[in-house]
Amino acid sequence: MNSAKLWLLYTIITTIFWGVWGAFIEIPEKAGFPATLGYSVWALTMVPCALVALHIAKWKLNADGRSIFLGCLIGLTGSGGQLLLFQALRSGPAYIVFPLISLFPILTIFLSTVFLKERGTTRQWVGIAVALVAIAFLSYQPATGNEEHNYNWLLLSILVFILWGLQAYVMKFSNYTMSAESIFFYMMITAVLLIPVAILMTDFSNPINTTFKGPYLAAMIHILNAIGALTLVYALRYGKAMVVVPITGLSPLITVAISLVLYRVVPGPILGTGVVLAMAGIYLLSE
């Protein structure tokens, strides 16, 4: 395949894998396997993906101080943001938290255009705008009425927004001097190192499902996310961050499609609008 189009291939793989992951991730949680322990399982699924990546790179690892710092920064902003998200959702309204955080590509686009001097065509800029609106619609969660009336969750949500927007930018920036395989290796290391934090956040007063529908099913589902994270690094090696990141943010489109087929969940007007906008955004960005 033409290397100029490799970014699109890897971007599509990431979007599909994350979309499928999103459609099934709630199964272990609803079966009694907490999301925090799900994080621990996800971090461990990063290990085989990192080993495969290093094998592809003939076991060559960028081990200089700058590469270690950048790789760990990428991992900490991503994994740390995930743990902060868990905390935000404990007291914050999901219907605000998710749409707010899902717009993190805005920060990535800003940083990439200012510091990396990325430029887009008129069509791509229109696609970016459409995609960002679609992401907000696709991330909408209905209110439950059980939210607590404090605003610590808002600060945490803003921090996740910043961390994830920064992560994608640094990932692209690092690709200029590091191999994608090395970047992912350090992402795996930092994710694993944060497992004790996830365990401390777990409420063990409730029963933990340790049957197949618990950690084992979670591993089968989370491996999709880990593979998607690896292909995202490759996508950013070949493509513009300002284009790649908004497209991968449309992965809920896949989630909605699977839910429609498997669970017979018909999207409401908000999700339906998001689906239409997402398809338009993908068309405009994939030139």
Q: Which residue has the higher pLDDT, 264 or 113?
A: 113
Q: Which residue has the higher pLDDT, 280 or 145?
A: 280
pLDDT band at 148 (very low <50, low <70, confident <90, very high): low
pLDDT single digits (tens) 232-250: 999 999 999 999 999 999 9
On the CB side of 249, how many CA atoms lie within 13 Å of its CA? 39
Q: Name the nearest CA neighbour of 182 among 2, 79, 58, 32.
A: 58
For the segment 107-133, the average pLDDT, to the nearest whole number, is 94
Confidence of residue 93 (pLDDT cuts 50, 70, 90): confident
Q: How much is the pTM? A: 0.93
Domain count, the chain: 1
What local confidence, expressed as pLDDT, does residue 287 receive?
Answer: 66
Of the pLDDT bands very low, low, confident and very high (cuts 50, 70, 90), residue 94 is confident
Q: Per-residue pLDDT tens for 1-47? A: 666 689 999 999 999 999 999 999 999 999 999 999 999 999 999 99
| pLDDT bracket for residue 266 (50, 70, 90) | confident
Query: What is the pLDDT at residue 3?
Result: 61
For residue 270, the tally of other CB atoms under 10 A from its CB is 15
Report, as an integer, the average pLDDT of 176-200.
97
Give the pLDDT confidence of 38-73 residue by residue, as tens digits: 999 999 999 999 999 999 999 999 999 999 999 999
Placement of tokens 């945490």 in the chain: 156
Alpha-carbon gap, residue 26 to 94, rounded angstroms: 15
Structure confidence at residue 248 (pLDDT) = 96
State which H helix or E strand residue 230 sits in: helix 217-238
Q: Tally Cβ neighbours within 10 Å of residue 102.
A: 22
How much of the chain, in percent, has pLDDT values that exceed 70? 95
The three-class DSSP label of residue 133 is: helix
- Say what the pLDDT of residue 159 is: 96
pLDDT over 90 at 260, yes or no = no
Q: Give me 33's structure tokens.
A: 């396997």
Report the C-alpha dihedral over residues 188, 73, 64, 190, rounded to 10 degrees: -30
Longest dimension (CA), the chain: 54
Strands annotated E in 129-170? none
Q: Which range of residues forms the domain containing residue 34?
A: 3-285
Q: Which range has the worst mean pLDDT, 161-165, 220-224, 260-264?
A: 260-264
